[in-house]
Amino acid sequence: MIQSTNLPIGIFDSGVGGTSIWKEIVTLLPSESTIYLSDSANAPYGNKTKDKIIELSIKNTEILLEHNAKLIIVACNTATTNAIKVLREKYNVPFIGIEPAIKPAALKTTTKVIGILATKGTLNSKLFENTSSTIDQKIIRKEVTGTGLVELIENGKINSPEMTKLLRSYLIPLLNENADCLVLGCTHYPYLIPQIRNIVGHKIQIIDSGEAVARQTKAVLDKHQLLNLSNTNVKYEFFINKNKNVLKQLVSGKGITIHQKVF
């Protein structure tokens, strides 16, 4: 019988962005195998209804469970903020989610203005509203919908003039409004950090939740006695339901297999 500690961690996102979380997992938990679903055929989730996001999140979860995932990381702010409650009620496996790191930003800001770049689905969600109500209400939250950013990343246009133009249109107003923290509320956005830096310089701290998700994953695996400390045959399987070239550019290394498959 396969020991449950040897089973893989399941990860899903609307597309390739969740690989920014996968990288943090591999760094912190090098003995864990992973199965990653990139639902790129349905990206972006950010413009979809809550019901549709729940339906897609259930579909992804079922596939990961068929692959015996011992824990599932919802590596997507939009899916977490809209669907994780339903997933936790429906399935027994532990779930780790990701939401915009506005609490750390609220502690770091000195100008008391923070920018939050996220999808429409995340910014409109109840979970985001609840989390926002827990921070100091004197802090001004400038919420910016990153329309078009996920699509450009999914199409392999991270470093393109279109991307620079869009990012400038979203970020320059934040500089003018004296924001000193920028929360990246979408797992695709860490791939934009070099470009964001070019635009905002060092006037704004960039805050994302990737490392915190990896630490939380470790703690939950430990709590459920599912941590794998000694695996010498680590495998990283990726499934993508669209052209796999963009994914291939983002992940590389030993143990990786990428399958292009309809799901």
**Considering beta carbons, is residue 185 or 226 the nearer one to ligand DGL?**
185
Residue 181 appears among annotated catalytic residues: no
Restricting to residues 120-179, name those near ligand DGL by CB under 6 A.
122, 150
Provide the sign of the torsion angle of the four alpha carbons 175, 176, 179, 185, taken in this order.
negative
> Is position 97 an interface residue for ligand DGL (rule: CB under 6 A)?
no
Q: Which of 116, 124, 152 is nearest to 43 (CA)?
A: 152
Counting residues that bind ligand DGL (by CB under 6 A) gives 18
* Segment contacting ligand DGL by CB under 6 A, of 14-22, 131-139, 227-235, 247-255: 14-22
If you write DSSP's letter for every residue of 116-182 in order, what string do you get?
Answer: EEE-HHHHTSHHHHHHHHTS-TTSEEEEEE-TTHHHHHHTT-TTSHHHHHHHHHHHHHHHHTT--EE
Which residue is associated with the tokens 């470093």?
A: 159
Q: Report helix, strand and coil shares of the chain as percent, to nearest 5.
A: 45, 15, 35
Smallest distance from the beta carbon of 225 to ligand DGL, in angstroms? 29
* Segment contacting ligand DGL by CB under 6 A, of 7-15, 156-164, 222-230, 231-239: 7-15
Which one from 9, 76, 144, 149 is the annotated catalytic residue? 76
In the bound complex, which residue of the shown chain has the CB atom lying closest to ligand DGL?
Answer: 46
Which one from 186, 207, 213, 258 is the annotated catalytic residue? 186
> Is position 187 an interface residue for ligand DGL (rule: CB under 6 A)?
yes
> What one-letter code names the amino acid at 244?
K
**Considering beta carbons, is residue 78 or 217 the nearer one to ligand DGL?**
78
Kind and range of the H or E run holding 253: none
**Considering beta carbons, is residue 188 or 244 the nearer one to ligand DGL?**
188
* Segment contacting ligand DGL by CB under 6 A, of 13-21, 103-111, 176-184, 234-242: 13-21
Kind and range of the H or E run holding 57: helix 50-66
> What one-letter code names the amino acid at 66?
E
> Is position 45 an interface residue for ligand DGL (rule: CB under 6 A)?
yes
List the x/- string, 194-233, binding to ligand DGL by CB under 6 A: ----------------------------------------
> Is position 188 an interface residue for ligand DGL (rule: CB under 6 A)?
yes
Structural tokens at position 225: 């006695």
Q: Do 115 and 172 form a contact (C-beta atoms < 8 A)?
A: no
Q: What is the DSSP letter of 203?
A: S
Residues at the contact surface with ligand DGL, assessed by CB under 6 A: 13-15, 17-18, 43-46, 76-78, 119, 122, 150, 186-188
Query: Which residues participate in catalysis according to the annotation?
Result: 76, 186
